[in-house]
Amino acid sequence: MTEEIKKIEDNKTETKPSFNKASEDKGGERRAGGGRRGGAGRGNRRGPRQEERVPDEFEQKIVDIARVTRVMAGGKRMRFRACVAIGNRKGKVAIGLAKGADVTLAVAKAVNQATKDLVMVPIYKQTIPHAIEQKFGAARVLLKPAAAGRGIIAGGIVRTILELSGINNISSKVLGTNNKVNNAKCVILALKNLRTKKLSNPQTAPKIKEEVSEQ
C-alpha cells in the first residue's frame, strides 16, 4: 500500500508542472495578442511625455501654494495647488495655476501653463502709458503711471508681477479682496488691456475722408 501511495503522489507531482506550463503558455499567448493587461497589441499610443522647459531669460516666483482636498468614495484625496508668476523683465509676464500630487509637480505644471499665456506689456518711459482700473471677480486693482525715479509703489503679489514685467515706475492700489490668486489674475488682465497710441489692428481704424480743395 505504501508503494502504491508513493506512485500516485509521484504521478501528481509530475502532472502539475505540465498543467502550469500549459496555463502559462496560454496566458502568454493572450497577453501577446493584446489582452486587458496591456499586451503588445495595444502598445504605447501616447509615447513618452515631454516636459516643456522655461527659457533661461524668464524668471519665476511662487505666488501661492495651498493644500487642497477632494472627497472621494474611499476617503479624502490630498493634492497641492501652486500659483507661479514668470517674466523676463522686458515686457513679457504671465501667471500659471495648476495642481499636483506634490509641490514640485504642481509648480512644474504651473510654469508650463504660464509659458503658454504670456502677456505683452506696453512700457512707455519705464512706466505704463495710462492709468487703468481693472476688476476681476471680487478683486479690483488700480494702476497709475509714475515719474522717473519714483519706483514701484505696490505690495504683495502686485509688486511681484510688476517687477517681473519690467516696469520700474508705477503706483498701484488694491481696492478689493485680499485673495492672492484673484489679485494676480486681475493685474495680468489690467496689463493686457493697456493700450498705446499705435492701434493694435490697423484694419479697425476709423477712415478719415480727405477733402481736397481745388484751386
| Burial classification of residue 179, based on how many CB atoms lie within 10 Å of its CB (0-12 exposed, 13-18 middle, 19 or more buried) | middle
Distance CA 134, CA 186 (A): 7
At 173, the amino acid letter reads K
pLDDT of residue 181: 93
Read off the pLDDT of each residue in 63-89 and give the average, rounded to a whole number.
Answer: 92
Read off the pLDDT of each residue in 70-75 and give the average, rounded to a whole number.
Answer: 88
Q: Is the pLDDT of residue 26 over 50?
A: no
Read off the pLDDT of each residue in 32-59 and give the average, rounded to a whole number.
Answer: 56
* pTM for this prediction: 0.65
Read off the pLDDT of each residue in 181-206 and give the average, rounded to a whole number.
Answer: 77
Q: Enter the DSSP assignment of 128.
A: -
Within 10 A of 184 (CB to CB), how many other CB atoms are there?
25
Check if the beta carbon of residue 73 is closer than 8 Å to that of residue 100: no
pLDDT of residue 58: 87
pLDDT digit string, tens, across residues 117-173: 899 999 888 899 999 999 999 999 999 999 999 999 998 899 999 999 999 999 999
pLDDT of residue 22: 46
Q: Is the pLDDT of residue 14 over 70?
A: no
pLDDT of residue 182: 93
Distance CA 45, CA 148 (A): 56
Of 107, 118, 90, nearest to 188 by C-alpha is: 118
φ and ψ at residue 79, rounded to 5 degrees = -140, 175
User: For 33-58, b where at least 16 C-beta lie within 10 A, e where not — what string?
Assistant: eeeeeeeeeeeeeeeeeeeeeeeeeb
**Residue that wins the pLDDT comparison between 96 and 198:** 96
Check if the beta carbon of residue 84 is closer than 8 Å to that of residue 96: yes
pLDDT of residue 3: 59
Q: Is the pLDDT of residue 10 over 50?
A: yes
| Residue 142 grid cell | 488700480
Distance CA 115, CA 96 (A): 8
